[in-house]
Amino acid sequence: MNSGIEPSESDSTAARPSDLGHAQASASSPLPAASRPDGRPSADDMLPPVEPPSAGFLVQLFLVPGVIVAIIVGVWLTFHWLAHLGNDPQAYLRTLRRDSEGRWQAALNFANDLRGPGGGSLKADAALATEVGSVLDDEVAKGRTNEQSLRLKLYLCRALGEFSVPEAVPPLVARAADRDDLETARAAVEALAVLTTNLVDAGTGLEDPQQVVDVVVAASMSDDQRLRGSAAFTLGIVGGDDAATRLIAMQSDASDDVRFNAATALARLGRDEAYETLGEMLALNDVAAGPDEQSQSERYKRALVVVNALRAVALLVDATGSQPPGGVLTRIEELRKDPVSDVKAAATALLDKVSRLGSP
88-130: per-residue pLDDT in tens?
677 878 888 888 878 898 899 889 888 888 788 889 999 999 9
Query: Could you say which of 207, 230, 254 is where a domain stops?
Result: 207
Instruction: Indicate the DSSP class of residue 12.
Output: G
Residue closest to 236 by CA, chosen among 252, 250, 221, 224: 250
pLDDT for position 292: 79
Q: What type of residue is 127?
A: A
Cβ contact 190:160 at 8 Å: no
183 and 81, same structural domain?
A: yes
200 and 75, same structural domain?
A: yes
Q: Is residue 9 part of a domain?
A: no
Positions in the chain short of pLDDT 50: 1-35, 80-86, 360
What phi-psi label fits residue 39: left (phi over 0), alpha (psi between -120 and 50 degrees) or beta?
left
Cβ contact 188:154 at 8 Å: no
Query: Could you say which of 152, 184, 207 is where a domain stops?
Result: 207
Cβ contact 316:268 at 8 Å: no
**pTM for this prediction:** 0.74
201 and 93, same structural domain?
A: yes
Q: Is residue 247 part of a domain?
A: no
CB atoms < 10 A from the CB of 187, how many?
A: 25
174 and 86, same structural domain?
A: yes
Q: Is residue 132 part of a domain?
A: yes
Q: Is residue 123 part of a domain?
A: yes
Cβ contact 277:259 at 8 Å: yes
- Identify the burial level of 170 via C-beta atoms within 10 angstroms of its C-beta, where 0-12 means exposed, 13-18 middle and 19 or more buried: middle
Residue closest to 230 by CA, chosen among 264, 203, 199: 264
Residue closest to 249 by CA, chosen among 235, 262, 261: 262
Instruction: Indicate the DSSP class of residue 263.
Output: H
200 and 91, same structural domain?
A: yes
Q: What type of residue is 277?
A: T
Domain of 298 in residue numbering reads as: 270-360
**Domain total for the chain?**
2
Q: Is residue 25 part of a domain?
A: no
pLDDT for position 209: 95
Q: Is residue 14 part of a domain?
A: no
Instruction: Indicate the DSSP class of residue 239.
Output: -
CA distance 351 to 171: 44
The residue length of the chain stands at: 360
196 and 75, same structural domain?
A: yes
Cβ contact 281:306 at 8 Å: yes
Distance of CA 4 to the CA centre of its chain: 103
**DSSP element (H, E) containing 105:** helix 103-115
280 and 154, same structural domain?
A: no
299 and 179, same structural domain?
A: no
278 and 178, same structural domain?
A: no
199 and 75, same structural domain?
A: yes
Spatial neighbors of 8 by CB under 8 A, at least 6 apart, are: none
Instruction: Indicate the DSSP class of residue 260.
Output: H
Q: Is residue 275 part of a domain?
A: yes
CA distance 244 to 236: 8
Spatial neighbors of 100 by CB under 8 A, at least 6 apart, are: none
318 and 190, same structural domain?
A: no
Q: Is residue 167 part of a domain?
A: yes
Cβ contact 26:40 at 8 Å: no
CA distance 322 to 329: 12
203 and 71, same structural domain?
A: yes
Cβ contact 264:310 at 8 Å: no
Query: Could you say which of 180, 207, 234 is where a domain stops?
Result: 207
CA distance 261 to 250: 9
pLDDT for position 101: 78
Spatial neighbors of 126 by CB under 8 A, at least 6 apart, are: 165, 166, 167
